[in-house]
Structure 1
């Protein structure tokens, strides 16, 4: 169901890792908030849907001990089409409320965490795609990546308290942040309590005090924007995935694997795999929900905010490339941004940190691994899965020489594409579309790292939700070699453009066959 050109003719191995047992509050449903109200509440009781007026049971759960928090929301006001590009946009305020229902005070200490919005961590065009080293303050890659980096580095924002106390039978606002219209706010947090407590997330318009945030909770009305309320049967039947609004078990995933590259060949393992994208391993790295809102997805499919630590013990000699891929699938149209986040790679040579921007159907080389012969070479790959990503990735270790050969073929194909696009008539829509819609007015191809594979095989169909699961057919077999008929030396009108299109098609087919043959060795 999922096609990665780098893995053509080869097989992936399961990681056989596991999640820990830390409960995490996920506030991501609705992702696109339209106004004031409750987003999620784990205290017992009900809240009323703005869309239908019906009471919906809270995602009831009482935390005690280690816990985590993940919040990710956008503000899409009903009048968003009338917003001025130059004027100040309206805002909501998101607040995290801690509730102590018991008769004694509860003390909480926070280990690490961060809160960012689109004002503090904007998307800057030059940082979006490719592989780049991380700096000390990499806040220009969006709120989701900015908070994940702090968690990855084990840091706590200075504006967050290291320790707080919730008095008996009391509620406090732990933090609040601005959510600009058409913008994003994201929060990740990890802590430990010495007693039971509950949590809630609310959205308010221009609150002047914490009391106004608490009053939104007391009104018992859910924030508008719950677009999946009319699709409950589809969610329960796993025909569609909503966003996650509930409590998931697991804030970390760990796996250890040994592999002899000389004896077993290149290594491919799934990373953040799903039922749809597990690369033939049948391994699904999805942690369960123990409590959820009725319109939430059934599982924590996105694993947003979960830390992944993969320890590889590799035997081999010489340079190998560590590569991240996202699959292409049949029924494709244009590629989309499939990952925008950060990695740590630790080897005996030291620690490397990098930001990665990846499109569907692409493979990018994260770093070169210089393996010593005759010993096991330890490599740890770590990431905190960011909200700006679509799960189902492949992590590979392949020979550097193989990557260089594929890269050279890709460059030759790109020259053919450029020549055809500059002189020929518009190509048929069945040919691969190279420009990224995220690039906007800048157009053209972005600057990418040493390995960029954009296979001729179909790419993943964009979806309304990155969690939707559709039955798909396997990739088509290689096309037979084309026999080119002799052409007249006196072309008729339109023949020049047809010739370029044919040559473009032939280049694509030749590249596909060479790539499949190369990967099959």
Structure 2
């Protein structure tokens, strides 16, 4: 007799339901080009190669005479106001090679008189341990500057506050015909998992006469006992005179006139023109005020608009390059470190009180608006496109002056939270000022939006 068998059905494992695709929200409104323009201050912009595995020259504006590799030197002198920006990542070339990569920035006086270089503001931070990337709320009060995600984010806050780190002297005096190190700082990877680290630096400078500048990458030399030491001025000068461009090289950018293929913007290595964009946002030059939108409506101004991302304004805000290496970006797309200083003299021209909201938003990138307005996603996509601090100055509803520092984190398609909410009386005028430095690791474009709430206390912008 056959044994009795118990047969159990095989359990069917039902996969969890897929998350519904994000809902697209169209904010039907006008998008305006940003008034004003970039200033003419040159920016030494060292951001390519971003990941440095081979020591060498990152960016040199020295003349090519007397240099072993003439094509590595762009021959651009600085005098008066200029900025120095450097943003690079070090990764261990092999699992065993955990030497620190040093970033050196050198200034040279070619003249016959001493040159004084004043360091007006300056900050430099590492990813680890100074400013690790972290998950943060979409809006945080940041008056103390303790909220940041990434070294670029933290550097921009310091410079926005007008600070100079103690590691930088107030000035450097360079004797005639000599060079001095503006910065000589490590990017350590030993003890990190993975062995990867980055450093962001921004300096606002003023020189009373001509100087040349270079940024260089060198693995830490060793002491006799095997410990690391920082490179000497002579070692940096030898690398400058005899070295080649650092590597590996980044992706070659797409020529801007080639509009029929996907665009590679490339990374910047050269001198860009423009460090601040001041804008007075008004109806027209005759009125000198900005009339708030009708109830339930909004308008926006493009921020950091760029090739193929003008949001229907046809305005390209990216700083032009005065000199550049031929395999690097044609413009400073994204305007890293550029300060946007925006003034909004708001005016309620109606006979009724109005609640007005000023916000920063990250709509879906478009060149021409396909749906007569800005497109957003609910929920936003996972990619973080902006993280940085914004300063807002205004008078509150009691007439008291307020200054707030707000840290924002915005993902692709995120509508953003209010920077300021104003209850404006009939006929009232209220001045709002918004300032921020466009942070490294952010992705343009963004917009500054002015919205008037409808009568029930919420906007009727979602279509």
Do they superpose with TM above 0.5? yes
For residue 283 of structure 1, give the secondary structure of its aligned residue in structure 2. coil
Residue in structure 1 matched with residue 19 of structure 2 by the alignment: none
Partner of 1:337: 384
Does structure 1 conserve the Cα–Cα contact (< 8 Å) formed by 2:125 and 2:131? no
How far, CA to CA, are the matches of 1:372 and 1:402 in structure 2? 13
CA deviation after TM superposition for structure 1 residue 309, in Å = 0.5
Q: How many pairs are equivalent?
A: 394
**1:362 paired residue number:** 414
Query: 2:452 and 2:387 mapped to 1: Cα distance?
Result: 25
Residue 244 of structure 1 pairs with residue 268 of structure 2: yes
- The farther-off stretch of 395-404 and 109-118 is 395-404
Distance, in Å, in 2 between the alignment partners of 1:157 and 1:179 is 17
Q: Report the Cα offset of residue 322 of structure 1.
A: 2.1
Residue in 1 that maps onto 2:53: 34
Shift of the alpha carbon at 1:124? 5.1
Q: Deviations over 1:458-513 (max 9, x none)?
A: xxxxxxxxxxxxxxxxxxxxxxxxxxxxxxxxxxxxxxxxxxxxxxxxxxxxxxxx
Find the aligned partners of 1:314 and 1:112 in 2 and give their Cα distance: 32
Change (3 A) 1:267 1:98: same
Matching residue of 2:343: 311
1:150 CA drift (Å): 1.1
Measured after TM superposition, the shift of residue 401 of structure 1 is: 5.6
C-alpha distance in 2, partners of 1:241/1:204? 27
Task: Give the 3-state SS of the residue equivalent to 1:218 in structure 2.
Answer: helix
Q: How far does residue 263 in structure 1 lie from its aligned partner after superposition?
A: 4.5
Written as runs of structure 1 = structure 2, the 5 A alignment for 1:433-444 is none
SS at match of 1:344: strand
Gaps of 5+ in 1: 407-516
Aligned pair in 2 of structure 1 residues 335, 370: CA closer, same or farther (>3 Å)? same
Question: What SS is found at the alignment partner of 1:216?
Answer: helix
Q: Give the TM-score taking structure 1 as reference length.
A: 0.70
Deviations 1:158-212 (A, max 9, x none): 1111111111111111112222342110111111111000000011111433332
SS in structure 1 of the partner of residue 210 of structure 2 = coil
**Contact (CA 8 Å) 2:103, 2:184: kept in 1 or not?**
yes
What is aligned with 1:276? 308
Aligned match of 1:152? 160
Whichever structure has more strand as a proportion of its residues is 2
The counterpart of 1:302, out of the listed 305, 319, 334, is: 334
Aligned to 1:490: none
SS in 2 for 1:390: coil
Cα distance in 1 for partners of 2:75, 2:415 equals 41
Alpha-carbon distance in structure 1 between the residues aligned to 2:355 and 2:24: 21
- Cα RMSD over matched residues? 3.0
| Equivalent residue in structure 1 for 2:247, among 210, 214, 224 | 224
Query: Quick one: distance in 2 between partners of 1:89 and 1:320?
Result: 54
The answer as to whether partners of 1:323 and 1:364 remain within 8 angstroms in 2 is: yes
- Following the alignment from structure 2 to structure 1, what is the Cα–Cα distance between the partners of residues 312 and 456? 23
Paired residue for 1:186, among 200, 203, 210? 200
- Distance in 2 separating the partners of 1:312 and 1:256: 6
Could you list the runs of 5+ residues in structure 2 that have no partner in the other structure? 1-22, 190-195, 222-228, 283-289, 367-376, 397-401
**CA deviation vs aligned residue, 1:314-337 (integer Å, no higher than 9, x gap):** 12344332222222259x996411
Q: TM-score, normalised by structure 2?
A: 0.78
Residues 35, 92 of structure 1: 8 Å contact kept: no
1:163 — aligned with what? 171
Q: By how many angstroms is 1:75 displaced?
A: 1.2
State how 1:27-66 maps to structure 2 within 5 Å.
Answer: 27-45=46-64, 56-66=71-81
Distance 1:402 1:102 in 2: 67
Following superposition, the deviation at residue 338 of structure 1 comes to 0.3
Written as runs of structure 1 = structure 2, the 5 A alignment for 1:86-485 is 89-123=98-132, 125-127=134-136, 129-138=137-146, 140-181=148-189, 182-207=196-221, 208=229, 209-228=232-251, 231=252, 234=255, 237=258, 239-258=263-282, 259-263=290-294, 265-316=297-348, 317-328=353-364, 335-349=382-396, 350-373=402-425, 374-400=427-453
TM-superposed CA distance for 1:365, in Å, is 1.0
- State the secondary structure of the residue aligned to 1:212: helix
CA contact (8 A) 1:47 1:58 kept: no
**C-alpha displacement of 1:6:** 6.5
Q: CA deviation at 1:216?
A: 2.0
What is the Cα deviation at residue 248 of structure 1? 0.9
